[in-house]
Structure 1
Amino acid sequence: MNILSKKLFLVLTVCGLFFSCSSDDGPAADTPPGAVVNLEGIAQNEAVWLQWTNPTDTDLDKITISYNGVSTDIAKTAEAFKVETLTNKEEYTFEITVTDLAGNVSASTSVSATPDKYVALYDGIDVESGFYSKTESNGIIFDTTIDGANILKRVFLPASGNEYFWEGTLVKNNDATFTYELEYYGISNGVRDHVADLVQVTNAVFSFEYDDQMRFASNVNVYEKVEGDENFLEGTYSSFLNTTSEDNSSFDEMTSRTIEFTATNGVVLTVKGEETLSSWNNQDLLDEKYIFVKYNSKTYLIENPSEYLAKQ
């Protein structure tokens, strides 16, 4: 082999080694990314909530959601998407694909779901410590402080120059309710107006997050669902407020309420045997005038959740 041939052989050998090594560095340009997994379609009211797990490929470009001839591209990091303005009681099939930077498309993953008049569901938790507050349209301010060390609860109700206080402990019962063992009194013009030494109030108490704020639920208007599908508004609900006082018999009362939402959009509220009639419609659900909160395996109805005390 002459000198020129040796040099050419050496160059070809080095180049061959270089390009051979480069071809093994990362996926081939025509290799599609992995498909999404764990895809779920959760039916809602005129909507479907999709959630999934993305592939581990490092060169992703976008996620594409397709249904009924409509395709929507979303961020490559997204793992959830709400498809809205759907028709209730109509089944939809959603396909999700992943595209990488080279334009390769993954295999599709699909799921079907049928939206209906579902009520939005939120998770409740044991009452969270902190300061909660709300100002009503009439100027009345409601403040509540929860001290996590002692489950200490203080309620302040300033209005028209008068202040009303509930101070004491919040004791959890075995049936997921709480009993407030508290002193109740008012202050007018700086002078304490004694009302009751000890009042025990028992009802449902929990926290839930709504509109990016932690809310405090403790009210006779928090209704537990006792009959009907827990996904829909139709059904029967009940609530109670059990109050006893050591020195004021007017506080000794068991107030129970039932409320029924019918499939014909009627509402029947029964308090102490007296009925009050009203109505609801599908827009109430879309506007989340009513939501469900799941707490301790029970489903509670919350009306106008944005009006509940918000943690500051």
Structure 2
Amino acid sequence: MKKIGIIGVPMDLGQSRRGVDMGPSAIRYAGLVPLLRTLKYDVTDFGDINVARTEEPKQSLNGLKEIINSSHMLAKKIVHIKKDGYLPLILGGDHSTAIGTIAGVATENKELGLIWYDAHGDLNTKETSPSGNIHGMPLAVSLGYGIKELVEIGVKTKKVSPDKMVIIGARSLDDGEKQLIKQLRIKVFTMHEIDRLGMSRVMEEAIQIVQKGTEHVHLSLDLDALDPLEAPGVGTPVTGGLTYRESHLAMEMLAESNIITSAEFVEVNPILDEKNKTAQIAVGLIGSLFGQKLL
């Protein structure tokens, strides 16, 4: 029986809107563990990473000290449960949690493939960020760009290579992010490509890219990839997003490919949600990722 280890990260310091720290609890409340157990997984919930709050003077990057500390703790916890044979499933929290998640799943001698399922690129640095919010920086950090204290979390500074990752669902990119995408030749499936090609073709190409020459593949899914009409409980909604059905198809195709070795679902904000709808969607997508089918 395959083992899944759940870790919650009640983090809301990487952005400016409160409430996303309750995301892990909302996803659990929506029935995550019972669902995974009906799919015949051995599930252990390891609880939440402690996210400390300090009364530090305002920093140039919002929540920097706390995010550094929490990311170190998360990375170490992931390494520990992986050694015990668990597939790490991380529940956010804002997307700055991905800094610790990817640092934990990346290893020194094995290439990591990465699927970044998000309305945003999260490729900003301190110099390019319009807001100073770290939840807009985790992908840049994982590629080795950003301030030293964040980049050096984990076993190596560059956790993923640009040619072994894809961004799916992008429709809001800052100028600095666009420049980095072009510089590194990152494969981005914007909503334009998804509309033209269809999700099936997009996922076929994405899977081919992330599994070539890799031994691990991580999925980082921000619920704001979905259209806010379907997933209203997110901090930075962008209209014109992916549908619920398209996202299920993406997760089903990942399940069929059997390449995912770790995953995280982030940015569920219960305060902005409607009767826990977005958390329920997250649980449904997790179910599809781990093999749930109608028949």
Asked whether the two chains share a fold, i.e. TM above 0.5, the reply is: no
Q: Decide which structure has greater helix share.
A: 2
Q: Decide which structure has greater strand share.
A: 1
TM-score (norm 2): 0.26
Name which structure has the greater RCO, CA cutoff 8 Å, separation 6+: 2
